[in-house]
Amino acid sequence: MIYTSMFYYGFILAIGAERLVELVVSRRNARWSFAQGGREFGRGHYPVMVGMHTLLLVSCIVEVATLHRPFLPWLGWPMVAVVAASTGLRWWCVSTLGKRWNPRLIVIKGAPLIDRGPYRWMHHPNYTAVVAEVAALPLVHSAWTTAIVFSIANALVLTVRIRAENAALGYA
């Protein structure tokens, strides 16, 4: 059990490191977008999103460590696959949007909507990936409470975010 917990903590740290890479890409893309005349929307909910995702990672570790949640192979391995697939989908979104990708809501007026890659099939594929990841990441090591609490919190945040994004894209 100790070895699976240590693997899980390392997995969570790797996800955290991946988020830091996203922030670097985000800052670079934000500079480019603003130089193109981009306008930011939804600034009020962005810190809430960042905080929620940070607390998700912390909560995954705390629940497993303090409540001694077991690694259940029948659940854990499929959830690792879901996290891997959702990460792949998110990076597909990043590569499809290129310099226009950003977790901040920056819109360049007059820029056409992207309709290739995963955007051919759905309006918000990145959020589909985030929903899957928020539910699956805690369940890799059966952190049920974290999975439920953060799935609900994520649904609330995404409700606000998607409304703001749709309004912002209407501006474009």
**CATH number of the CATH domain containing 48:** 1.20.120.1630
Provide the pLDDT for residue 172: 53
Residue identified by tokens 């309709």 is: 115
Q: How far is residue 138's CA from residue 110's CA, in Å, rounded to a whole number?
A: 40
Provide the pLDDT for residue 4: 83
Provide the pLDDT for residue 93: 97
Provide the pLDDT for residue 96: 97
pTM of the model: 0.93
Q: How far is residue 65's CA from residue 61's CA, in Å, rounded to a whole number?
A: 6
Q: How many CA atoms lie within 13 A of 158 on its CB side?
A: 17
Cβ pair 101, 23 in contact under 8 A = no
Provide the pLDDT for residue 148: 98
pLDDT along the chain (172 residues), means of 10: 87 97 96 97 94 98 97 97 97 97 95 94 95 98 98 97 92 60
Q: Which domain holds residue 69?
A: 2-171
State how many domains the chain has. Answer: 1
Provide the pLDDT for residue 171: 66
Using left for φ > 0, alpha for ψ between -120 and 50, and beta otherwise, residue 108 falls in beta
Instruction: Read off the tokens for 111.
Output: 């820029």
Specify the 3-state DSSP secondary structure of 106. strand
Q: How far is residue 126's CA from residue 130's CA, in Å, rounded to a whole number?
A: 6
Comparing CA positions, the residue from 121, 128, 119 lying closest to residue 154 is 128
Residues 6+ apart with CB under 8 A from 47: none
Provide the pLDDT for residue 72: 97
